[in-house]
Chain A
Amino acid sequence: MAPLPPRSGDAVFANVEHVNAELFSLTYGAIVRQLLTDLEEVDEVNKQLDQMGYNIGIRLIDEFLAKSNVSRCADFRETADVIAKVGFKMFLGVTASVANWDTEGTSCSLILEDNPLVDFVELPDTCQGLYYCNILSGVIRGALEMVSMKTEVTWVRDMLHGDDVYELRVKLLKQVPEEYPYKDDD
């Protein structure tokens, strides 16, 4: 059977079950608050959020590949495009844009204007060092690692810190060549 054509983010999002975004953002808020109480240090919370995101990412990639019919990306540019247009849309119902490529094509920015994680959120003075959405960077890192890409994901701009958009910098560190036996299904 010929592989199915990749589906657009909108098409996938329309076909999955949904939940109210407020339940999602309030639950996330509860997690962040719990971490702040348990770990006390903002840096530790950033780390734990990233770890949780990573755990999600390594599992989420399966669902992503199964539902989107996306196959191997030709280069990192295509990868970034797929994350922004299909990945974000499929899970969070929002689209990101890709910008600020470096000349080698190995690092770029994902720019988000809508972010369902931050409804009702305002950072108090004591949490200024907190990357509230750090779970997202973990998700991207974990998911890409499962498709043989080691990346580094960092926050450049954050609306909770007064910037005008959310900007995530994704840098490709190295492409891990797959070893025999290949795990490919096709």
Chain B
Amino acid sequence: MIGAGKMKQYGNVLEKPLSKGRHEVSLSAFAFLFSELVQYNQTQVDNIAELERRLEDAGYAVGARVLELLCHREKGNRRETRLLGILSFVHSTVWKVLFGKVADSLEKGTEHEDEYMISEKELLVNRFISIPKDMGTFNCGAFVAGIVRGVLDSAGFPAVVTAHFVPMERSQRPRTTILIKFAEEVIKREARLG
């Protein structure tokens, strides 16, 4: 019925009340859209690294907005200033809102002080994707890596974030690991804060 429960008009997007974030769309709607994103970007590049970089850029734009949104809604306008705080914010809050669950694991790299890893057995964006042989190490997780980088960078923790497949025992499909390598300044600041 037209007119029933009609939305109020707002002149400005900022005047709109913040949604509670409980709306959902079907997984296939997202999968279709994501596959178009990948296919479009494939037409714009001539190598895998470039394709990953473009997907990461698209993710970055999402991440920057997610940080802003979630700091308003979930954290009373506060954002994390400590390394472990922001990492667990990504691993729990961000993951829960975007993917409906906390990430499978968050680990510190054993070889390097500045590396952390978030692992996911079945990453949403890799679920309907199989990588053709000739595309080598390409990983659609680059989009999620971009989201993570977008969140971290906007929160003042610049980092290099990459997605990798890690084979798993007793499973056909590899898990996806998001490798986060923080910039030197972040590690120094963290050491100073003690």
Interface residues of A (CB under 8 A from B): 13, 16-24, 26-31, 33-35, 38, 48, 52, 55-56, 59-60, 63, 90-93, 97, 99, 111, 113-114, 116, 119-122, 135, 164-165
Contacts and interface: CB of A to CB of B under 8 A. Distances in A.
B106 interface: no
Interface in B23-41: 23-30, 32-34, 36-37, 39-41
B65 A19 contact: no
B12 A122 contact: yes
A140 B180 CA distance: 41
Given A21-B23, A22-B19, A99-B2, 18 more contacts: A19-B24, A19-B29, A20-B99, A20-B100, A21-B24, A23-B30, A24-B33, A27-B30, A28-B33, A31-B58, A34-B37, A34-B54, A59-B32, A91-B28, A93-B23, A97-B1, A116-B25, A121-B13
B27 A113 contact: no
Nearest to A121: B13
A26 B26 contact: no
Contacts of B7: 113-114
B185 to A, nearest CB: 27
Contacts of B120: none
Interface residues on B, range: 35 or more
B47 interface: no
Given A33-B61, A116-B23, A55 B39 contact: yes
B55 to A, nearest CB: 10
Contact of B28 (A29, A34, A60, A120): A60
